[in-house]
Amino acid sequence: MLFNSFVFFFFLLTVLPIYYLLKTKRHRNLYLLGVSYIFYGYWDWRFCFLLLASTIIDYILGLKMGAVTEPKKKKLFLYVSIIVNLGILGFFKYFNFFIESFQHIGSQFGYNVDFLHLHIILPVGVSFYTFQSLSYTFDIYKGNLKPIRDFWDYALFVAFFPQLVAGPIERAVILIPQVSRKNHATKQQFLDGTILIIYGLFKKVLIGDASGRFVDQIFTHMDRYSSWEVVFAWVLFSVQIYADFSGYSNIARGTAKLFGFELMKNFNQPYLSTNITEFWRRWHISLSSWLRDYLYIALGGNRKGKGRTYVNLFLTMLIGGLWHGASWTFVIWGGLHGIYLAVHKLMLGNKKITAVHHPLNSIRNVLKVLPGMVFTYLLVLIAWLFFRAKGMHDVYAVVGKLENWTWGTYPWRFATILLGFAGVSFICDLFEYKTQSHVFLNRIKYPPLMYGLLCAMFIGVALFLINSKPAPFIYFQF
């Protein structure tokens, strides 16, 4: 069930009133759990069994870890959780990827392993709920969380539908306490939730989906377009994926607020970052912080010398790239960001960096941070090519366009399209940056103007959806 569809609007308007008619926490949580499985099963009901199996296994292992005091036994249960969860993820997401890779190598020596190839359907959101469930067993092992006794509350933590299929990847220490209490949205939460949903739909549909049509057309038929047009599509993809994923995260957060839950902010104007480290503290925050806390630190972090620190950064991002998809292009994308981070760490030396709010209130201040922002964006843009490419043949095609530069027939038209979408996205970011809030519309002190803008945005989204098929979120494939 897609957030950007009339089916979801009907689903939400049906589910929400019934939720508030239920009086007890137990009834509300059981109801939310049931509708979450309906939401997830809308794609394919068979996926629900995998979700349930993962939930049962980690619930039992959590209780086992909480019941023992010996570090070795506790570590054993943690390893079982890791093996089971990564085993599920590896089989459904990477089995055919590795078979295809072995098949390519085997063919060089006359061997055929095609019989090992299985027709596996990738369950929607498996990467997200696997990492979320793992955070629960990790936190119990580290002593940050006590095992939850109520199985149904734990099942809701794993399956909570607003963030089930594409995040944010919530931490058990943050979401489980919310699940364990009776939730009732305040008036402010309801207003903020509504704003986030409409604003998220605006970004996803009117920026992400609309710009994605041009990106898909050009990348699918690169032979028909000039070098300039391909480069414009490449840059436009950076706008598309940001609008698509940040829009989804806003809808997820807004929907959760309507039920009285608070989810973490997943994006914080990443393209205004002045260095690559800051970028990863602003982009897909729930994943980058997960990788930092549960992988980078587990590998040794910066505790084992400078050389090992650089290796750990590279390995963390390499694995993060593979998490995104079963393709060597994703591995290269992650590896590039690993190199970026390691080099930046090397340049920093012993200095520490924090994601700061750079003042943009004067030309002087803008010019001061602009070189860093532009350079960081260019590094990210180079890596986005591998993220967007369906395979290395796409990368080679783009490189070929750059080697044999052509002007084309419609470069100015595509330049105008790019500037339009990028300009709207940039204006949205500036408002967020200035107010440090994704619900900046509630800062409008004249209510009719605020509600008028919200209605206009929603009508624009509705008209677009009436005339086109809802486009899946890019991160659904992960």
Set 119, 284, 324, 438: catalytic member: 324
Check if the beta carbon of residue 226 is closer than 8 Å to that of residue 408: yes
**Alpha carbon distance 312, 296 (integer Å):** 6
CB crowding 401-411: b at 16 or more within 10 Å, else e: beeeeeebeeb
**Alpha carbon distance 11, 31 (integer Å):** 14
Q: Is 399 helix (H, G, I), strand (E, B) or coil?
A: helix
Alpha helices by DSSP H, listed for 327-391, are: 328-348, 363-388
Q: Is 184 an annotated catalytic residue?
A: no
The C-alpha R_g of the chain, in whole angstroms, comes to: 23
Check if the beta carbon of residue 441 is closer than 8 Å to that of residue 202: no
**Alpha carbon distance 270, 280 (integer Å):** 8
Q: Is 267 helix (H, G, I), strand (E, B) or coil?
A: coil
Nearest partner of 251 among 467, 9, 451, 425, judged by Cα: 9
Omega within 30 of 0 (cis) for the link into 168: yes
Beta-carbon count within 10 A of 110 CB: 6
Catalytically annotated residues: 324
